[in-house]
Amino acid sequence: MNKWQKIVGIIAFALIVIYELLIWVNAYVDMKYIVEPNENDFLVERMYMRIGSLSFGMWLNFALVVFLFICIWRKGGKK
């Protein structure tokens, strides 16, 4: 892998992480200030489950991106 490819990959990785964290925070804030004041226990419980699923998907995506980036990084050095 060339040096510029590594730099672009790290920047893209950082942008993906920031984007996913912003999505997670947005969902949590929506739930906290829009859903919870309605005092519908069933809806609040479902939203907490949804945010838990979103968190799991975010961390799984994060781990997959790190794994694939490391594989590509190593493959580039074996020319």
**pTM attached to this predicted model:** 0.69
pLDDT in tens, 11-32: 988 898 898 889 888 988 888 8
pLDDT at 76 over 80: no
Distance from C-alpha of 78 to C-alpha of 76, rounded to nearest angstrom: 6
Letter for the amino acid at 39?
E
* Six-digit token string for 71: 């594989």
What torsion, rounded to 10 degrees, do the Cα atoms 10, 16, 19, 21 define?
Answer: -90
